[in-house]
Amino acid sequence: MTDQPILRVENLKVHFPFSRGGFWRPETGVVRAVDDVSFEIAAGETLGLVGESGCGKSTTARAIVGLVKPTAGTVTLDGTVINGLSEAALRPHRRVVQMVFQDPFASLNPRMTVGSIIGEPLRIHGLARGRDLKLEVLRLLDLVGLNPRFLNRYPHEFSGGQRQRIGIARALAVEPKLILCDEPVSALDVSIQAQIINLLMDLQQRLGLSYLFIAHDLAVIRHIATRVGVMYLGRIVELARAAELYANPTHPYTEALMSAVPIPDPVESAKRSRIVLQGEVPSPDREYPGCALADRCWLVQDRCRTDRPVLRTGTGVTADPNPSSPHQAACWVRQGE
C-alpha cells in the first residue's frame, strides 16, 4: 500500500431540503442523509460500510461519484479534490472510481447488448475502437467468468448473478483504482452471493483494486472487508479493522447490530443475549445536539444528550495493535470521559 490514500472523505454532508404542510401552514426543513462523515481508503484495501436502511450508506457512495451533490465537505480522489470540478475537468477522474449497483437489472440498459454495455465506457473515454474494442470486451467477459459467446445477448437473457458480473465487467472497463460496491449481492441468492464475493476478492488480488463495500449483511462484510465503518443516522459511529470490530464491538449501536447476527451453532447462540434497542427510531430531518442514539441507549448519560461525540480512541476502547488503523468509536461512555 502507498502512503497516499486512494480516497479521502472529509466532513462530508449531504442534506436534502423538503417542504410539507398545506398552503396556510407550510413547513420546510432538511433531511440530513449524510451528516459529517470522514474516512480514508488505502490502495488495495476494502472498507466495509454497514448500518440499517436509511442511515446514509448509499448516499455517501453516490456523493463520492457525483451522482448527488454534497452539501459540504471534500472528496479527494487519488490526490485530487474532485467535488466542485466542472464536468470537463471531472471526466479524467471518472476513470479512477467506478460503481457497481445493488440491482443488476435496473442498472443495465435493456435495449443494449452486453457487448455495447461493456464497450460504452471504452468508447466514451477513447480507450478502444473497432476490433480492439471487441477484443477488450471479450477479455472483460472472460475476466468476470462469462462466456464470450454472450456478447450479443441482452440483459433479460441472463440470471441475476450473471447480470451482476456484467455490471462488474463494465466497471472494470476503464481500469479503475477504486470500485464502490453498493450492496452488490443483496438481490442475489445466497449461493450466488458467495460466487460474486469470491470474484470481487479475486479481482482485487489480480488487479490491485480498492473497494468501498456497502452491505446490510454483517457476515458478508466480515468476509471481504479490511476495515469496517458502522453508520447510524448519517454518521459513522465506529471504525476499526474488521477482526478487531467483530471481536470487540465498542459502540452500543454496534453491539446491538452484532447481537442480531444469527449463529449457526445452537449452543453458542443460547449463550448470547440479544440486545433490543428500545425507544423511538430517530428521524433524519431532526438535528440532534448530542448522540443520535441517546434516546435508545442503555448507557446514556446527561452529556450524551447535549454534546455530540466524535470518532476517537479513548480509554474505554480496546487498544488496537495496528496504530495506522486505530479502533475508534463515537461514544462518551466508552471513550472513558
In a domain, 336, yes or no: no
* Residues facing 213 on adjacent strands: 48, 181
In a domain, 159, yes or no: yes
332 confidence band (pLDDT: 50, 70, 90) = very high
- pLDDT of 264 > 80? The answer is no
Contact 326, 313 (CB under 8 A): yes
- The per-residue pLDDT for 23 is 63
Tell whether 75 is covered by a domain: yes
In-domain check, residue 280: yes
Nearest CA among 257, 236, 217 for reference residue 327: 236
- pTM equals 0.89
- What are the pLDDT digits (tens) for 179-234? 999 999 988 888 899 999 999 999 999 999 999 999 988 888 999 999 999 999 99
Q: Where are the alpha helices (DSSP H) in the chain?
A: 57-65, 87-94, 114-124, 130-143, 160-172, 190-207, 218-224, 242-247, 252-259, 266-271, 302-306
Which residues pair with residue 43 across a beta bridge?
Answer: none
Same domain as 274, residue 203: yes
Average pLDDT score over the chain: 89
The confidence score (pLDDT) of residue 234 equals 94
Give percent of the chain with pLDDT exceeding 70: 92
Same domain flag for 39 and 127: no
| Residue 51 is assigned to a structural domain of this protein | yes
What is the rounded distance in angstroms from the CA atom of residue 280 to the CA atom of residue 293?
A: 10
Q: Based on the domain organization, do 220 and 260 belong to the same domain?
A: yes
- With cut-offs at 50, 70 and 90, classify the pLDDT of residue 90: confident
Segment among 167-176, 276-285, 300-309, 325-334 with least mean pLDDT: 276-285
Residues 128 and 208 in one domain: no
Secondary structure letter of residue 52 according to DSSP: S
- Res 190: pLDDT: 86
- CATH code for the domain of 85: 3.40.50.300
| CB burial of residue 258 (10 Å; 0-12, 13-18, 19+) | middle
Instruction: Let me know whether 202 and 157 are in one domain.
Output: no
Domain limit, last residue, from 115, 144, 175: 175
pLDDT in tens, 15-46: 998 877 666 666 688 999 999 999 999 999 99
Out of 175, 195, 216, a domain closes at 175
- Does some domain include residue 158? yes
Residue 1's pLDDT band (boundaries 50, 70, 90)? Answer: very low
CA 278 from centre of chain: 27
The answer to whether residues 166 and 190 belong to one domain is no
- Give yes or no: residues 170 and 299 share one domain: no
- Say yes or no: 134 and 207 in one domain: no
The domain containing residue 69 runs over which residues? 7-20+29-96+176-329
| Count of domains observed in the chain | 2
How is residue 312 annotated by DSSP?
A: B
Clarify whether residues 72 and 203 are in a common domain.
yes
At 132-159, the pLDDT tens digits run 999 999 999 999 999 999 999 999 999 9
Instruction: Identify whether residues 201 and 297 lie together within a single domain.
Output: yes
State whether 205 and 241 are in the same domain: yes
**pLDDT band at 320, cuts 50/70/90?**
very low
State whether 113 and 58 are in the same domain.
no
